[in-house]
Amino acid sequence: MSWHAHDLLRRDLLRGRFRLALVLSTVVAALLCMVPWSGTAHAHGSVVDPASRNYGCWQRWGSDFQNPAMAQQDPMCWQAWQDNPNAMWNWNGLYRDGSAGNFRAVVPDGTLCSGGNTENGRYRSMDTPGAWKKTRVGSGFTVNLYDQARHGADYFLVYVTRQGFDPTTQRLRWDDLQLLTRTGSYAPAGNYAIPVSTSGLSGHHVVYTIWQASHSDQTYFLCSDVDFG
């Protein structure tokens, strides 16, 4: 083989290796983008029925979150996935530490559904008004919360929006809420059921659940959309 032919062969081999490395790096990057970087190693919990906003989006679309049909079928979840997928992968992590019961101070009006933009704004899309998917409920219903880490609860506070509040156009404020119940403590368990009753409500409302965990000063702020018919 001549020197020239040998040089051409060597250059072709180098180009082939470069192309292979480029293809492999592209594939790896694409796979990494699809990995759910969830906080399951530090699992916590959420309201699962009526589903909290980010839990519902994870439940409906977690296995198909890149499907463009979501934009038409479930536009509020679409905007949430586009803003930050980790709000859904970490559906169980919408909490704040160290609130000391001063919820209005640490969670300003307009940011109630994101826990005051907790986790550096990870859940900010939960505050966006719009046509969130709703769970049909009657005047009496049960809030079911899944405690993945079995933290227990010092108490739960369950609120509902006042008649006239419009979740499709308004961000949630503290004065939009009326308290339905404040519970006592719950021993650590996997699931908690909190019965509540309402009167005189119709249409789309937001149920706002505050879960004060027992293991530390850790508070969860959870918005669930419901339809009273």
Averaged pLDDT, 161-180: 98
Task: Encode 144-164: b = buried (16+ Cβ within 10 Å), e = exposed.
Answer: ebbbeeebbbbebbbbbbeee
pLDDT score at 149: 86
75 pLDDT above the threshold of 80: yes
For position 38, what pLDDT does the model report? Answer: 36
pLDDT of residue 10: 52
Neighbours of 79 (CB within 10 A): 15
In which band, very low, low, confident or very high, does the pLDDT at 30 lie, cut at 50, 70 and 90? very low
pLDDT of residue 20: 45
> Do the beta carbons of residue 202 and residue 213 sit within 8 Å?
no
Confidence of residue 109 (pLDDT cuts 50, 70, 90): very high
Average pLDDT over residues 176-180: 98
Average pLDDT of the chain to the nearest whole number: 87
pLDDT exceeds 90 at position 184: yes
Task: Give the span between the Cα atoms of 124 and 85, in whole angstroms.
Answer: 11
Distance CA 229, CA 227 (A): 5
pTM recorded for the entire structure:
0.82
Q: What is the pLDDT of residue 37?
A: 34
